[in-house]
Amino acid sequence: MPIVRNLGRAASQLLQSSGCGCGVSIVPVRCIGVSPRQVASDASFHSVTFSESNHPRVLITGGLGQLGVGLAKLLRKRFGKNNVILSDIRKPADNVFYSGPFIFADILDYKNLREIVVNNRITWLFHYSALLSAVGEANVPLARAVNITGLHNVLDIAAEHNLRLFVPSTIGAFGPTSPRDPTPDLCIQRPRTIYGVSKVHAELMGEYYHYRYGLDFRCLRYPGIISADSQPGGGTTDYAVQIFHDAIKTGKFKCYLRPDTRLPMMYIDDCLKATLEIMEAPAEALTMRTYNISAMSFTPEELAQEVQKYVPELEMSYNVDQVRQAIADSWPMNFDDSNARRDWGWKHDYDLAELVTTMFSYLGSDSRIAQAN
């Protein structure tokens, strides 16, 4: 097996025989000489016997972030609840824990992660563990460990066990010398945040592992993602989520970016749909390993105008955070995602007006919104 951590087949099985130590009932790999068919028929999780099928066996790392829970819900609906394992290092809410398999998985613990992949016969891995832009700048050593060292562990395990690996990238993978309007798939990048640097590293390492070892690596550069069922997580684009919560609660919103700061954005349903589509796309249809995807592009001022159709008395003010403003000024204003639309048929469903309507329909019927309607 041509990868960095080639321990040999016998050593590999000995290492995996002790179980994952995470408090979940997982059947360990049997002794050498037992056929893969026998192992597969006995493998279990949460005492549930998995039926043999053509469905992928999915692991999502960093699954309690903005995207993981929604992705798990989508994949479970498509592939069956017990075929999708959500993981994180944090304790999940009850509704998440009881909605399907959940497991503790620390991506910095290589041996534990490897055991999880083997013992649960994982075939698809979605790697969402990462520190976002603003949070990463506040703790560069931790961001370097999680975003880069954790990625290396995932790449080695995916290559060794022939997984289809998805690692999200970001508008933050571009820098101030990148073309910004529009930004193509292939151009100079050179970001100036540890988050962006780690994502460029992930893109290039994934492409290298694809050509060097045949790893089925797939990656999308996400724009700013907006969703109603998660709180802002420290990203530079999170103003576009917070504005809805503040508009409903107080009727006032103070934005940390300038009113004319244009950035590409996307509603979460489009993001999750694109993620599933790229993973299901035939390998022969893909002309590259990393694609831009986009749906809309707007400024805080344009978003506020659309929000004011529902909350007319919204008071919008600006208190520019120089750190996040500098980050936003180095990012694309518009994404060119023509390659994704051509190669695997990407097409978004939500524009700005539909995004705002959907957000308010999810966030409740405050009296201000009811009067506006």
- Cβ-based burial of 53 (10 A; exposed 0-12, middle 13-18, buried ≥19): exposed
Which tokens is 295 given? 């749906």
Q: Name the strand (E) or helix (H) holding 219.
A: strand 216-222
Active-site residue, from 98, 110, 128, 195 = 195
Which tokens is 129 given? 């563990």
Query: Among this protein's residues, is 195 annotated catalytic?
Result: yes
Q: How far apart are CA 56 and CA 83, in angstroms?
A: 7
Which tokens is 78 given? 């498509």
- Cβ-based burial of 28 (10 A; exposed 0-12, middle 13-18, buried ≥19): middle
Q: Which residue, 270, 254, 153, is CA-closest to 222?
A: 270
Q: Which residue, 232, 223, 231, is CA-closest to 256?
A: 232
CB within 8 A of 19, min separation 6: which ones?
A: 26, 28, 115, 119
Q: How far apart are CA 321 and CA 107, in angstroms?
A: 32
Give the residue numbers annotated as catalytic, written as ranges: 195
